[in-house]
Amino acid sequence: MAGIRCFFAVEVDDPTITRHIRKKQQDLQSSRAKLKLVEEKNLHFTLHFLGNVDEGRIPELIELLEEVEGDSFEVELVGLGCFRPQRPRVIWIACTLGADQLIHHQQFLGKQLRAHGFPSEKRKYSPHLTIARVRGGENRAQLMKLVDEHKNYDFGRFRVKAIKLKKSTLTPKGPIYEDLAVRELYEVE
């Protein structure tokens, strides 16, 4: 089944934050490890990756997204990390402030997806912002040294104003993301 490859996400589009991220990505490249950096326009927190979904079910996913309610909220990004330091595959930035809200929305969407017969994530959700994928074991020690040196780096805060259903088209140059639907969160005074 081909379908439409899609996911629910919160985008990171604050220019100050993305500038800090770009600088750290460049620092990571100085390790000379084989990395595929996430492009600035593709930075996001994945809430649920759905994979290929039959095109006829997209309106159903849009309806599920419309059921999301809540206020906009602040997210603070602090520190680089990875899930398996011995064999890192993904380098990410941790989320401190705002993690509870991301988890809440992820769990809400998961419950709605299961109720509609969609598969949901099997792993426990851990909010993180992927900034690079490791493409091999070369210079791993240098890479992990840089990650460790930046484990407390403060990238700043941004306000999450929407949750999106995104379409992902894979290309040889990397994924291209498009909005399929946007659920605006309530503005907080």
In eight-state DSSP terms, residue 170 is: -
Residue among 48, 105, 128, 150 flagged as catalytic: 128
Cα 153 to Cα 4, 51, 87, 95, 107, distances in angstroms = 37, 33, 22, 12, 28
Residue 20 is among the residues annotated as catalytic for this protein: no
Q: Which two tokens stand for residue 129?
A: 């912002």
Predicted TM-score (pTM) of this structure: 0.94
Backbone angles phi, psi at 45, to 5 degrees: -95, 120
How confident is the model over 16-44, as pLDDT tens digits? 999 999 999 999 999 999 999 999 999 99
How confident is the model over 3-20, as pLDDT tens digits? 999 999 999 999 999 999
Residue 44 is among the residues annotated as catalytic for this protein: yes
In eight-state DSSP terms, residue 29 is: H
| Separation CA 33–CA 43 (nearest Å) | 21
Q: Which two tokens stand for residue 72?
A: 């906009």
| Separation CA 75–CA 77 (nearest Å) | 7
How confident is the model over 78-94, as pLDDT tens digits? 999 998 888 899 999 99
Banded model confidence at residue 187, pLDDT cuts 50, 70, 90: confident
Residue among 20, 44, 104, 105 flagged as catalytic: 44
Encode 57-103 in three state secondary structure: HHHHHHHHHHCCCCECEEEEEEEEECCCCCCCCEEEEEECCCHHHHH
Write down the pLDDT at residue 123: 84
- DSSP letter for each residue of 113-165: HHHTT-----SPP--EEEEEEE-SSTTHHHHHHHHHHTTT-EEEEEEE-EEEE
Which amino acid would we find at residue 131?
A: I
Task: Give the architecture (CATH level 2) of 4-184.
Answer: Alpha-Beta Complex (3.90)
114 C-beta neighbours (distance < 10 Å), count: 11
Of 71-75, 133-137, 185-189, the range with the lowest mean pLDDT is: 185-189
Q: Which two tokens stand for residue 14?
A: 């604050």
